Amino acid sequence: MSKLAMNLSAAVIALVVALPVQAQDTPDAGTVVATVNGTEITLGHMLMVRAGLPEQYQQLPTDVLWDGIMNQLVQQEVLSQSDDAKETFRVRVAIENERRALLASEALAALAQQPVSDEALQAAYEAKYASADMGKEFNASHILVETEEEAAALVAELEGGADFAELAKEKSTGPSGPNGGELGWFGPGMMVAPFQAAVEKMEIGAVSAPVETQFGWHVIKLNESREMDAPTLDSVRDELTGEVQQQVVADLITSLTEEATVTQLAKDEIDTNVLQNLDLLEN
Protein backbone atom coordinates (compact mmCIF):
# COMPACT_ATOMS: atom_id res chain seq x y z
CA MET A 1 0.00 0.00 0.00
CA SER A 2 1.35 3.45 -0.86
CA LYS A 3 2.15 5.98 1.80
CA LEU A 4 -0.68 8.22 0.47
CA ALA A 5 -3.22 5.39 0.68
CA MET A 6 -2.07 4.55 4.19
CA ASN A 7 -2.49 8.16 5.24
CA LEU A 8 -6.00 8.33 3.74
CA SER A 9 -7.01 5.09 5.45
CA ALA A 10 -5.75 6.36 8.78
CA ALA A 11 -7.69 9.61 8.32
CA VAL A 12 -10.94 7.78 7.53
CA ILE A 13 -10.53 5.50 10.55
CA ALA A 14 -9.82 8.47 12.78
CA LEU A 15 -12.92 10.28 11.47
CA VAL A 16 -15.20 7.28 12.09
CA VAL A 17 -13.82 6.77 15.59
CA ALA A 18 -14.34 10.43 16.35
CA LEU A 19 -18.05 10.34 15.41
CA PRO A 20 -20.52 9.91 18.32
CA VAL A 21 -22.01 6.42 18.50
CA GLN A 22 -25.55 7.81 18.20
CA ALA A 23 -24.69 9.68 15.00
CA GLN A 24 -23.33 6.49 13.45
CA ASP A 25 -26.41 4.41 14.13
CA THR A 26 -29.46 6.42 15.18
CA PRO A 27 -32.51 4.14 15.35
CA ASP A 28 -35.72 5.13 13.62
CA ALA A 29 -39.13 3.52 13.21
CA GLY A 30 -37.81 1.36 10.38
CA THR A 31 -34.93 -0.05 12.41
CA VAL A 32 -35.15 -3.85 12.41
CA VAL A 33 -35.06 -5.14 15.99
CA ALA A 34 -35.78 -8.81 15.30
CA THR A 35 -36.49 -11.26 12.48
CA VAL A 36 -38.64 -14.38 12.65
CA ASN A 37 -37.97 -16.75 9.79
CA GLY A 38 -36.99 -13.77 7.70
CA THR A 39 -39.96 -11.60 8.65
CA GLU A 40 -38.81 -8.30 10.11
CA ILE A 41 -40.02 -6.78 13.34
CA THR A 42 -39.16 -3.08 13.51
CA LEU A 43 -38.87 -0.47 16.19
CA GLY A 44 -42.05 1.03 14.73
CA HIS A 45 -43.93 -2.17 15.55
CA MET A 46 -42.68 -1.98 19.13
CA LEU A 47 -43.60 1.69 19.43
CA MET A 48 -47.16 1.01 18.29
CA VAL A 49 -47.54 -1.68 20.95
CA ARG A 50 -46.07 0.72 23.52
CA ALA A 51 -48.50 3.47 22.52
CA GLY A 52 -51.48 1.18 23.03
CA LEU A 53 -50.53 -0.07 26.50
CA PRO A 54 -52.79 0.73 29.49
CA GLU A 55 -51.58 3.61 31.63
CA GLN A 56 -50.26 1.41 34.45
CA TYR A 57 -47.94 -0.38 32.03
CA GLN A 58 -46.77 2.84 30.38
CA GLN A 59 -44.96 3.75 33.60
CA LEU A 60 -42.74 0.66 33.63
CA PRO A 61 -38.96 1.06 33.06
CA THR A 62 -38.01 0.95 29.38
CA ASP A 63 -35.86 -2.16 29.77
CA VAL A 64 -38.85 -4.04 31.21
CA LEU A 65 -41.12 -2.69 28.47
CA TRP A 66 -38.58 -3.68 25.82
CA ASP A 67 -38.49 -7.31 26.94
CA GLY A 68 -42.25 -7.57 27.31
CA ILE A 69 -43.05 -5.97 23.95
CA MET A 70 -40.32 -7.88 22.12
CA ASN A 71 -41.51 -11.21 23.53
CA GLN A 72 -45.10 -10.40 22.62
CA LEU A 73 -44.26 -9.52 19.02
CA VAL A 74 -41.97 -12.52 18.50
CA GLN A 75 -44.54 -14.88 19.98
CA GLN A 76 -47.30 -13.38 17.85
CA GLU A 77 -45.16 -13.67 14.73
CA VAL A 78 -44.24 -17.34 15.29
CA LEU A 79 -47.88 -18.12 15.97
CA SER A 80 -48.99 -16.19 12.87
CA GLN A 81 -46.56 -18.28 10.79
CA SER A 82 -47.72 -21.59 12.23
CA ASP A 83 -49.83 -24.09 10.29
CA ASP A 84 -52.83 -23.34 12.49
CA ALA A 85 -52.82 -19.63 11.60
CA LYS A 86 -55.30 -19.09 8.79
CA GLU A 87 -56.33 -15.79 7.29
CA THR A 88 -60.00 -16.57 7.64
CA PHE A 89 -62.91 -14.39 6.61
CA ARG A 90 -63.22 -13.23 10.23
CA VAL A 91 -59.57 -12.13 10.22
CA ARG A 92 -59.90 -10.32 6.88
CA VAL A 93 -62.96 -8.31 7.86
CA ALA A 94 -61.41 -7.48 11.23
CA ILE A 95 -58.32 -6.13 9.43
CA GLU A 96 -60.52 -4.13 7.05
CA ASN A 97 -62.49 -2.63 9.93
CA GLU A 98 -59.30 -1.77 11.83
CA ARG A 99 -57.76 -0.14 8.75
CA ARG A 100 -60.93 1.87 8.13
CA ALA A 101 -61.05 3.04 11.74
CA LEU A 102 -57.38 4.01 11.82
CA LEU A 103 -57.61 6.01 8.59
CA ALA A 104 -60.72 7.79 9.88
CA SER A 105 -58.85 8.61 13.08
CA GLU A 106 -56.00 10.07 11.05
CA ALA A 107 -58.46 12.31 9.21
CA LEU A 108 -59.99 13.48 12.50
CA ALA A 109 -56.56 14.10 14.00
CA ALA A 110 -55.62 16.25 11.02
CA LEU A 111 -58.76 18.33 11.50
CA ALA A 112 -58.04 18.72 15.21
CA GLN A 113 -54.67 20.24 14.37
CA GLN A 114 -56.27 23.05 12.40
CA PRO A 115 -56.44 26.22 14.54
CA VAL A 116 -59.80 27.81 15.29
CA SER A 117 -59.79 31.44 14.20
CA ASP A 118 -60.75 34.30 16.50
CA GLU A 119 -63.56 35.15 14.08
CA ALA A 120 -65.00 31.64 14.37
CA LEU A 121 -64.79 31.77 18.16
CA GLN A 122 -66.48 35.17 18.28
CA ALA A 123 -69.27 33.93 16.02
CA ALA A 124 -69.77 30.84 18.18
CA TYR A 125 -69.80 32.97 21.33
CA GLU A 126 -72.41 35.35 19.95
CA ALA A 127 -74.57 32.51 18.68
CA LYS A 128 -74.54 30.84 22.06
CA TYR A 129 -74.70 33.76 24.47
CA ALA A 130 -75.74 36.99 22.72
CA SER A 131 -79.47 36.46 23.22
CA ALA A 132 -79.41 33.56 25.66
CA ASP A 133 -81.45 33.67 28.85
CA MET A 134 -78.85 32.80 31.46
CA GLY A 135 -81.44 32.48 34.20
CA LYS A 136 -81.33 33.90 37.70
CA GLU A 137 -78.99 33.49 40.61
CA PHE A 138 -80.08 33.83 44.19
CA ASN A 139 -78.76 35.01 47.51
CA ALA A 140 -80.43 33.17 50.37
CA SER A 141 -80.05 32.20 54.00
CA HIS A 142 -81.39 29.11 55.73
CA ILE A 143 -81.82 27.43 59.07
CA LEU A 144 -81.30 23.66 59.05
CA VAL A 145 -82.89 21.45 61.71
CA GLU A 146 -83.61 17.73 62.05
CA THR A 147 -87.42 17.58 62.14
CA GLU A 148 -90.38 19.20 60.45
CA GLU A 149 -91.77 20.18 63.85
CA GLU A 150 -88.63 22.15 64.67
CA ALA A 151 -88.77 23.86 61.28
CA ALA A 152 -92.45 24.77 61.72
CA ALA A 153 -91.70 26.24 65.15
CA LEU A 154 -88.97 28.39 63.62
CA VAL A 155 -91.37 29.67 60.95
CA ALA A 156 -93.81 30.65 63.70
CA GLU A 157 -91.08 32.52 65.58
CA LEU A 158 -90.06 34.38 62.42
CA GLU A 159 -93.66 35.31 61.71
CA GLY A 160 -93.77 36.68 65.23
CA GLY A 161 -90.88 39.02 64.49
CA ALA A 162 -87.80 36.97 65.46
CA ASP A 163 -84.54 37.84 63.74
CA PHE A 164 -83.62 35.25 61.08
CA ALA A 165 -79.85 35.57 61.49
CA GLU A 166 -80.04 35.24 65.28
CA LEU A 167 -82.26 32.15 65.02
CA ALA A 168 -79.85 30.62 62.52
CA LYS A 169 -76.91 31.17 64.87
CA GLU A 170 -78.87 29.65 67.74
CA LYS A 171 -80.75 26.80 66.09
CA SER A 172 -79.20 25.81 62.74
CA THR A 173 -77.23 22.56 62.54
CA GLY A 174 -75.72 23.48 59.19
CA PRO A 175 -72.22 24.93 58.68
CA SER A 176 -73.70 28.30 57.71
CA GLY A 177 -75.38 28.69 61.13
CA PRO A 178 -72.61 30.69 62.81
CA ASN A 179 -72.76 33.09 59.86
CA GLY A 180 -76.45 33.76 60.35
CA GLY A 181 -77.41 31.07 57.82
CA GLU A 182 -76.05 33.04 54.85
CA LEU A 183 -75.37 30.91 51.75
CA GLY A 184 -74.24 33.66 49.40
CA TRP A 185 -75.01 33.65 45.69
CA PHE A 186 -75.85 30.45 43.83
CA GLY A 187 -77.20 29.67 40.39
CA PRO A 188 -79.41 26.95 38.90
CA GLY A 189 -78.41 23.44 39.86
CA MET A 190 -76.03 24.47 42.64
CA MET A 191 -78.41 23.45 45.41
CA VAL A 192 -80.26 20.17 45.91
CA ALA A 193 -83.47 20.05 43.90
CA PRO A 194 -86.12 20.63 46.63
CA PHE A 195 -84.16 23.58 48.03
CA GLN A 196 -83.58 25.08 44.57
CA ALA A 197 -87.23 24.67 43.60
CA ALA A 198 -88.42 26.40 46.77
CA VAL A 199 -86.06 29.35 46.31
CA GLU A 200 -87.07 29.88 42.68
CA LYS A 201 -90.73 30.35 43.74
CA MET A 202 -90.03 32.82 46.54
CA GLU A 203 -90.36 36.59 46.66
CA ILE A 204 -87.48 38.78 47.86
CA GLY A 205 -87.50 38.93 51.66
CA ALA A 206 -89.96 36.05 52.04
CA VAL A 207 -89.48 33.10 54.37
CA SER A 208 -90.41 29.61 53.19
CA ALA A 209 -92.49 26.91 54.77
CA PRO A 210 -90.38 23.94 55.95
CA VAL A 211 -88.51 22.32 53.04
CA GLU A 212 -87.21 18.76 53.31
CA THR A 213 -83.97 17.57 51.68
CA GLN A 214 -81.62 14.69 52.40
CA PHE A 215 -79.83 16.97 54.88
CA GLY A 216 -82.87 17.67 57.04
CA TRP A 217 -85.51 20.37 57.21
CA HIS A 218 -84.81 23.91 56.01
CA VAL A 219 -86.39 27.27 56.64
CA ILE A 220 -85.24 29.56 53.84
CA LYS A 221 -85.11 33.32 53.46
CA LEU A 222 -84.54 34.80 50.00
CA ASN A 223 -82.36 37.88 50.38
CA GLU A 224 -81.82 38.90 46.74
CA SER A 225 -82.03 37.65 43.16
CA ARG A 226 -80.53 38.87 39.91
CA GLU A 227 -80.23 37.96 36.26
CA MET A 228 -77.06 36.04 35.51
CA ASP A 229 -74.58 37.61 33.13
CA ALA A 230 -73.19 35.70 30.18
CA PRO A 231 -69.64 34.43 30.75
CA THR A 232 -66.79 36.27 29.10
CA LEU A 233 -65.36 34.90 25.89
CA ASP A 234 -62.04 34.14 27.55
CA SER A 235 -63.68 32.09 30.30
CA VAL A 236 -65.38 29.80 27.77
CA ARG A 237 -62.69 29.88 25.08
CA ASP A 238 -61.64 26.24 25.51
CA GLU A 239 -65.24 25.05 25.59
CA LEU A 240 -66.14 26.98 22.46
CA THR A 241 -62.98 25.83 20.67
CA GLY A 242 -64.02 22.22 21.22
CA GLU A 243 -67.55 22.95 20.02
CA VAL A 244 -66.31 24.70 16.88
CA GLN A 245 -63.95 21.81 16.11
CA GLN A 246 -66.76 19.31 16.59
CA GLN A 247 -68.94 21.29 14.20
CA VAL A 248 -66.13 21.40 11.63
CA VAL A 249 -65.86 17.61 11.85
CA ALA A 250 -69.62 17.17 11.59
CA ASP A 251 -69.81 19.50 8.59
CA LEU A 252 -66.95 17.71 6.85
CA ILE A 253 -68.51 14.29 7.40
CA THR A 254 -71.81 15.58 6.05
CA SER A 255 -70.09 17.13 3.02
CA LEU A 256 -68.01 14.04 2.25
CA THR A 257 -71.02 11.77 2.65
CA GLU A 258 -73.11 13.92 0.32
CA GLU A 259 -70.34 13.93 -2.30
CA ALA A 260 -69.70 10.20 -2.05
CA THR A 261 -71.58 7.57 -4.01
CA VAL A 262 -73.21 5.62 -1.22
CA THR A 263 -75.57 2.69 -1.66
CA GLN A 264 -77.17 0.98 1.32
CA LEU A 265 -79.37 -2.03 1.73
CA ALA A 266 -82.72 -0.89 3.09
CA LYS A 267 -83.77 -2.44 6.38
CA ASP A 268 -86.99 -3.72 4.84
CA GLU A 269 -84.86 -5.71 2.38
CA ILE A 270 -83.19 -7.80 5.07
CA ASP A 271 -84.02 -9.35 8.42
CA THR A 272 -81.98 -7.22 10.85
CA ASN A 273 -81.91 -10.13 13.29
CA VAL A 274 -79.08 -11.41 11.12
CA LEU A 275 -76.82 -9.20 13.27
CA GLN A 276 -77.21 -11.82 15.99
CA ASN A 277 -75.76 -14.55 13.77
CA LEU A 278 -72.02 -14.31 14.45
CA ASP A 279 -71.58 -17.76 12.98
CA LEU A 280 -71.60 -16.11 9.57
CA LEU A 281 -68.08 -14.86 10.29
CA GLU A 282 -66.83 -18.44 10.27
CA ASN A 283 -67.69 -18.97 6.60
What pLDDT was estimated at residue 228?
Answer: 87
What pLDDT was estimated at residue 48?
Answer: 95
36 within a domain of the structure (yes/no): yes
3-state SS, residue 256: helix
* Rounded-to-integer distance, Cα 99 and Cα 80, Å: 19
* Rounded-to-integer distance, Cα 40 and Cα 36, Å: 7
Domain final position from 51, 69, 84: 84
What pLDDT was estimated at residue 129?
Answer: 87
- Please indicate, yes or no, whether the overall pTM of this predicted structure exceeds 0.85: no
Overall domain count for the chain: 2
Q: What does pLDDT average to in each consecutive run of 10 residues of the chain (283 residues)? A: 40 39 71 96 96 91 95 97 93 95 93 89 90 88 97 96 96 96 94 96 96 97 92 92 91 94 94 92 82
Same domain, 80 and 142: no
What pLDDT was estimated at residue 19?
Answer: 41
116 within a domain of the structure (yes/no): no
Domain final position from 24, 50, 84: 84
Domain final position from 46, 62, 84: 84
Boundaries of domain holding 44: 13-84
106 within a domain of the structure (yes/no): no
What's the residue count for the chain?
A: 283
* Rounded-to-integer distance, Cα 182 and Cα 93, Å: 64
What pLDDT was estimated at residue 32?
Answer: 96
What pLDDT was estimated at residue 1?
Answer: 43
The enclosing domain of 208 has a CATH number of: 3.10.50.40
44 within a domain of the structure (yes/no): yes
51 within a domain of the structure (yes/no): yes
What pLDDT was estimated at residue 267?
Answer: 92
What pLDDT was estimated at residue 8?
Answer: 34
147 within a domain of the structure (yes/no): yes
3-state SS, residue 229: coil
